[in-house]
Every structure is written in structure tokens, then in C-alpha cells.
Structure 1
Amino acid sequence: MTHLRIGILLALFGGAALLAFGLSWLWDARGSTLPAVPGPAPAVLALIAFALLAVALSLRARLRAQRERRPGARGVDPMLAARAVIFGHASALVSALAAGAYGGSGLFLALTYWEVANRRDQAVYAGLAVLAGAAVCAAALYLQHVCRLPGDGDDSQGPLSSPA
């Protein structure tokens, strides 16, 4: 599996934002009412970010205890770490797309309908969803960093390496 790169996440975000902005503009130009940005979207993305961060911190603590050979330290199952990284990778990719879509539509709403209270609220929800999507990406990148293996880009020993 390849490493998750910030450039890929930014490209997905930017492409989705441009597409959402353009589609919002076309939708509005046709005289149709734009779909609403769901209010719970930021909370759901923030919950995913929290879950990823909790897993990363838990794995980090267990790996540190294993590396320091503390008595009673529980080891980390490599399959558990791999599943966590895959979950983080997928979550980051999807959240970059979702945050881009919310960002593009929120930007359109902010530029064209800021005076309308309901649409201003939609733009604020979209902005919060962008921030929560960025938090998911940051937590996924941190989880990937915690679970790196030796030889994954540097010559130093990674956290999942066995102690010498």
C-alpha cells in the first residue's frame, strides 16, 4: 500500500471544490433551488477524526510500551495496525472529497446568498465540514506516521519494528 500524501489529498479537495462550485453555479443559473448542506455533516466528520486520533494514540502508547519492554506491555497485532491504517487512508480520501464538495458549495453560497439567513447558515455548516474534513486528514496522516514500518521512506527504525 502506498503512503497517503498531502498533495493527493489537496488535489482531491481542490478538484471536488471546483466541481461543486461549478455545479452549484449551473444549478442556480437554471433557477433551481440548491440542495441544503446537511447540518450534521461537520459532526460526523469530527467524530471520524476523533476515532482515528484515539486509535493512533492508543497504538502509539502500546508501541512505546512494547519498545521500552515494560512489564505487562501488550504487543500490537500487525493486522490490527494494518486495518487501522487502511481505515485512516480510506477515511482521508473520502473526507478530502466531501470537504471539497462542501467547500465548493459553501463558497458559492457565501458569495451569492450571504444576505439570506438560511443560506448563510448553510455556508457556515459547509465551512465547518471543511474544517472537520481537514481534521480527518490530519488524524489519518498521524495514524499512518504512528504505524510506519522500517524502510517506509527512511532508514531509521519504525515503531512497529521489533526491539533489538
Structure 2
Amino acid sequence: MKQLRVRVLLGVFLVAGVLAWAGSRLWYALGSLPAVPALAPVVLAGIAAVLLATVLSLRARLRAQRERRAGARGVEPMMAARAVLFGQASALVGALAAGVYGGMGLFLVTSDLFLVSARRGQALYAGLSVLAAAALVAVALWLQRVCRLPDDEDPAAPSPAR
């Protein structure tokens, strides 16, 4: 399984941000702008917390397995693979959410809508959502790193013949 690269996540973030900013401008020009959900940062932070608990649990179990401690619960390879997939999907969702809420927040901050107190609250929710999504991406990348095989540690090492 290939590792998810930070460049891909930055690309998703930038494309989503530009599209959200342009879409917000267009939507506002047509007469209204959808609200940023107040629970968006809470949901993203909740997913990051679940992912963090997964990382900490897997890291402890993998350390115990590598050190060959007596009575240590190992990690099944399929479970580790599922965790990596969960982490990669979470990182992509986090980058997408950060881009969307970042683009909307940027539009709200730079437009005359920022003078309206309700829209200042929307900009705050968007900013908090970006922070929560960034935390989600960071934890997801950490999960991917924790579940790497020992052979994957040296990128300069020659790959085995197939």
C-alpha cells in the first residue's frame, strides 16, 4: 500500500479552497450564501479524537509486539491495513474540509459581509473548522507512519525483486 503524500493533500486543500471561495462569491452574487454549520469543527475534532485513540492504541500494541513482551497483544496485518485506509480516507476528508471551510472563511473575512455580526460568527466557525481539519490530517498522517512496516523505514533501500 502506498503512502499518502503531503503534496496530494496540499493539492486537495488548494483546489477545494479556490473552488469554495469562487463558489461563495458566485452564491453571494446570486443573493444568498449558505451558512457554515456551527457543529462542523466539533465533528471534525471528534473524528480526529477517535483517530488519535486508534493511533495511540496501535502504537502501544506494535511497540509491545516489536519488543516481544510476554503476553503482548499483537496487531493483525489486516487490522493495521484497515487502520491505514481509515487514516488515508480521514486525511483526504480533512484536506477537503479544510479547503472548503478555508475558502468560505476567506470570502467572509475579505467581503463586506464581515461587518454583519452573524457572518463574523460564520467566519469563526470556518476558521475553527480549518484548525480541526488540520488536526485531523496531522493525526491521520501519524497513523500512517505508525503502521509502516520496518522494511519501509529506509526509502533509499533497494526494493525486493518480484
TM-score by length of 2: 0.91
C-alpha change, 1:17 and 1:155, in structure 2 (3 Å) is closer
Whole-angstrom CA distance in 2 between matches of 1:84 and 1:73: 19
2:118 matches 1:118: yes
Alignment deviations for residues 48-77 of structure 1 (CA, whole Å, 9 cap, x no partner):
111111111111101111111212111111
Unaligned regions of 5+ residues in structure 2, if any?
Answer: 157-162
Whole-angstrom CA distance in 1 between matches of 2:133 and 2:60: 25
Aligned length: 155
Tell me what 2:59 maps to: 60
Tell me what 1:21 maps to: 21
Q: What one-letter code is carried by the residue in structure 1 that aligns with 2:11?
A: A
Deviation at 1:16, TM superposition (A): 0.4
Deviation at 1:155, TM superposition (A): 6.2
SS at match of 1:43: helix
Report 1:1-164 matches (<5 A): 1-30=1-30, 32-112=31-111, 113-152=113-152, 154=154
Q: What one-letter code is carried by the residue in structure 2 that aligns with 1:84?
A: A
Whole-angstrom CA distance in 2 between matches of 1:61 and 1:81: 13
Runs of 4+ with >3 A deviation? none
Unaligned regions of 5+ residues in structure 1, if any?
Answer: 157-164
Q: What one-letter code is carried by the residue in structure 2 that aligns with 1:65?
A: A
Identity, % of aligned positions: 64
Deviation at 1:150, TM superposition (A): 3.2
Deviation at 1:7, TM superposition (A): 1.0
Structure 1, 107-116 or 135-144: larger mean CA deviation:
107-116
SS at match of 1:70: coil
Q: What one-letter code is carried by the residue in structure 2 that aligns with 1:106?
A: G
Whole-angstrom CA distance in 1 between matches of 2:55 and 2:17: 29
Deviation at 1:98, TM superposition (A): 1.3
Tell me how large the CA RMSD over aligned residues is. Answer: 1.4
TM-score by length of 1: 0.90
Q: What one-letter code is carried by the residue in structure 1 that aligns with 2:49?
A: F
Q: What one-letter code is carried by the residue in structure 2 that aligns with 1:64?
A: R
Q: What one-letter code is carried by the residue in structure 2 that aligns with 1:118?
A: A
